[in-house]
Structure 1
Amino acid sequence: MMFRFESPIYLWLLLLIPILVIVNIYHARKKKKRYKAFGTPELLKQLSPGVSRYRSIVKFSLIEIALALAIIILARPQTISPTSPEKREGIEAIIAIDISNSMLAQDVAPSRLDKSKLMIENLITRFTDDRIGLIVFAGDAFVQLPITSDYVSAKMFLDDIDPSLIETQGTDIGRALDLAMHSFAQDTKAGKAIILITDGEDHEGNAEEMARKAAGMGIKVFILGVGSPAGSPIPLGDGEYLKDNAGNTVMSRLNEDMCRKIAAAGNGTYIHVDNSDAAERQLKAEIGKMQKGQFGTLTSTAFSEQFQAVAIILIILLIIEAIILEKKNSRLQNLQLFKRKK
């Protein structure tokens, strides 16, 4: 079993200990000089019989030790348990999110994009040994997060997703699928899936071709269509809605027919995303059917906090310091525990 500090930077505060000792010695000497101005040590001892010579030293020492222990607690002492290798088996999934302006439509609450992000976050939470990557696309596409098992980073990158990430507007699903196909790791036989979330307003027309190419590589293409076929206006954030050149409000409609065709070409499934969690459950079930592959071994390390014992000692020292008085206790002056017998 090994030992470590989680926050060792706080240990630099231990330099306060010798500094306080030097300051205390300096003030003690100044105090001694002031006392000498009043008379001889014998006279002062007679004038102040209750003053203890050593109690202040003991109290200061206890405070110093307590301060050192408090600093150690801040540094979080931990013991490290022996590591245990575990086999990791899962799938690889590249999640491609449409971040075109039409995804700001609110026919799905709170918006198409926010609903998509929430669904992905819940999906990531359920992953255990799988690898995931994030791609954002509109008129262009780029990798937001390379394929990884770091779910914490995945959620952080997910929070930052916004239409402002891509200046080129539009919805180039084919480009997103092409980028996703080339974003998988090459060293595994695990099942591979592209989970593409969009409202289906494709302006390029090569999405089905790319989906068939992905299927030929053994990659399943799941299309999640978010929104309503009835359509919804696109808010601009200032209370206004997007309008066309003629001044008419633009209605963004979910193109379910195109989404189904892309999913069929990619040997996958089309799933409609609405205000319920049905799409999330269906996607989870489909992913559960996929072949899992081994990614090697995961070495897990357990850290156990050890500050409790130090805290108990600290509390005991502070109690003792509070009990000890600067002056001698008159009731105990006649108690001579260490007096020699004649």
Structure 2
Amino acid sequence: MWQLEHPWLLLLLPLPLLVWWLLPPYGERTRAVRVPFFDELTKATGQTPARGAVVLRGNWLRRVLAPVCWALVVLSLAGPQRLEPPIERIESARDLLLAIDLSGSMATPDFLDPQGQRVDRLSAVKSVVDDFIAHRTTDRIGLIVFGTNAFPQAPLSLDHVAVRELLDELRVGMAGEQTAIGDAIGVAVKMTEHSKQRERVLILLTDGNDTAGRIPADKAAEIAKAGHIVIHTIGIGDPAAKGENRVDLDALKRIASATGGRSFRGENREQLADIYALLDRVTPSKVKHSVYRPKVKFYYVPLGAALLLMVAYHLAMLGVLAPLARRRAVSRLSPDASGS
């Protein structure tokens, strides 16, 4: 589809007519040479002297090309352009962060894989989370790992293949042997502080309690709420265990409740898969659709045509009309030259 970017500039088309009509003609005074044989000179040249101004006359070609070139220049200023077929852009409308505990207790082999073989907690979690990521095709997903320390394993990205590869590289103890839940929430706040998305979700999974956090988990939850982050917590492991190995379900419930999220308890791989499936339903993928139509500008076409017409006209004047004018002048003076 063709259109003009600035169609109002077409109002300039009658401007030369208005100038010709409203403004006085340009005049210039020049000095004349006085000769005593003026009458003889006019007779010799065949001219009739008259009083008043000398008005230069144009030829018919200039009268045609001048308005054509002006119209082409105005058309170029108006910005002719062609609209290409629309391109639809699909953008994520939610940031989704997954925080996974890598403390030493995650090596406990108390989960069963689909074949009935015993596996450690981290292997079961990685399998379920990988399937969860595979279903979230339109969300920006980031990965946080925590133990004694917390750090981002994968930044928020739509490249889910890369996120899943980084998930597969997780190993027990790579972030330390203890559990820093408050720090993991703090990393989530840091990762989303410059995000343009108003919806931000953190799914935090742990099998321990906050024993190494530099910031208390409850305080971190308040900061997350102020940052518009909803936290869903998943507790696995044994709540009756002692020390570092005890999962603090009450603390996880407080964290989730403070941010408007939900808290879950996962005792085996099947329950864990059901929890992530439920979270997949309660936080459906949200996308923003925007339509962009590329524009191809063609202002140079009428501008180039006007330039070519002007160049061709001047070349024609120099190559055709100028020699013709010289021949006419010579023919007028030839009888007088022969008479002398």
TM-score interval, smaller chain: 0.5 to 0.7
Show the counterpart of 2:280: 284
Shift in Å at residue 212 of structure 1?
A: 1.4
Identity among equivalent pairs (%)? 29
- Secondary structure in 2 aligned to 1:163? coil
Show the counterpart of 1:106: 109
Mapping of residues 1-342 of structure 1, within 5 Å: 85-109=88-112, 110-166=119-175, 168-184=176-192, 186-204=194-212, 206-231=216-241, 252-275=245-268, 276=270, 277-288=273-284, 292=286, 294=288
Distance in 2 (CA, whole Å) between partners of 1:297 and 1:231 is 55
Q: TM-score under structure 2 normalisation?
A: 0.53
Change (3 A) 1:272 1:184: same
One-letter identity of the residue aligned with 2:95: E
Distance in 2 (CA, whole Å) between partners of 1:192 and 1:297 is 24
One-letter identity of the residue aligned with 2:227: M
Structure 2 unaligned segments of length 5 or more: list them.
Answer: 1-84, 113-118, 293-340
Change (3 A) 1:84 1:220: same
Distance in 2 (CA, whole Å) between partners of 1:278 and 1:100 is 23
One-letter identity of the residue aligned with 2:231: V
Shift in Å at residue 190 of structure 1?
A: 4.2
Shift in Å at residue 286 of structure 1?
A: 2.3
User: Is the contact between residue 208 and residue 237 of structure 2 (CA under 8 Å) also seen in structure 1?
Assistant: no
Distance in 1 (CA, whole Å) between partners of 2:236 and 2:291 is 37
User: Is the contact between residue 131 and residue 147 of structure 1 (CA under 8 Å) also seen in structure 2?
Assistant: yes
Distance in 1 (CA, whole Å) between partners of 2:110 and 2:220 is 29
User: Is the contact between residue 215 and residue 265 of structure 1 (CA under 8 Å) also seen in structure 2?
Assistant: yes
Shift in Å at residue 270 of structure 1?
A: 0.5
Shift in Å at residue 91 of structure 1?
A: 1.5
1:227-252 CA-to-partner distances (Å, cap 9, x unmatched) read 233549xxxxxxxxxxxxxxxxx883
Shift in Å at residue 122 of structure 1?
A: 1.1
Show the counterpart of 2:73: none
Shift in Å at residue 295 of structure 1?
A: 8.2
Shift in Å at residue 135 of structure 1?
A: 1.0
One-letter identity of the residue aligned with 1:92: D
Structure 1 unaligned segments of length 5 or more: list them.
Answer: 1-81, 233-249, 299-342
- Secondary structure in 1 aligned to 2:277? helix
Show the counterpart of 1:320: none
1:242-281 CA-to-partner distances (Å, cap 9, x unmatched) read xxxxxxxx88332212211221122211112232132122
How many equivalent residue pairs? 198
Larger displacement relative to structure 2 (97-106 or 268-277): 268-277
One-letter identity of the residue aligned with 1:279: I
Shift in Å at residue 296 of structure 1?
A: 6.3
Larger radius of gyration, structure 1 or 2? Answer: 2
User: Is the contact between residue 271 and residue 283 of structure 1 (CA under 8 Å) also seen in structure 2?
Assistant: no
User: Is the contact between residue 116 and residue 226 of structure 1 (CA under 8 Å) also seen in structure 2?
Assistant: no
One-letter identity of the residue aligned with 1:94: L
Change (3 A) 1:83 1:136: farther
Larger displacement relative to structure 2 (131-140 or 259-268): 259-268
Distance in 2 (CA, whole Å) between partners of 1:265 and 1:204 is 21
1:169-228 CA-to-partner distances (Å, cap 9, x unmatched) read 210111111011111273423410111110132114600110111012211011111223
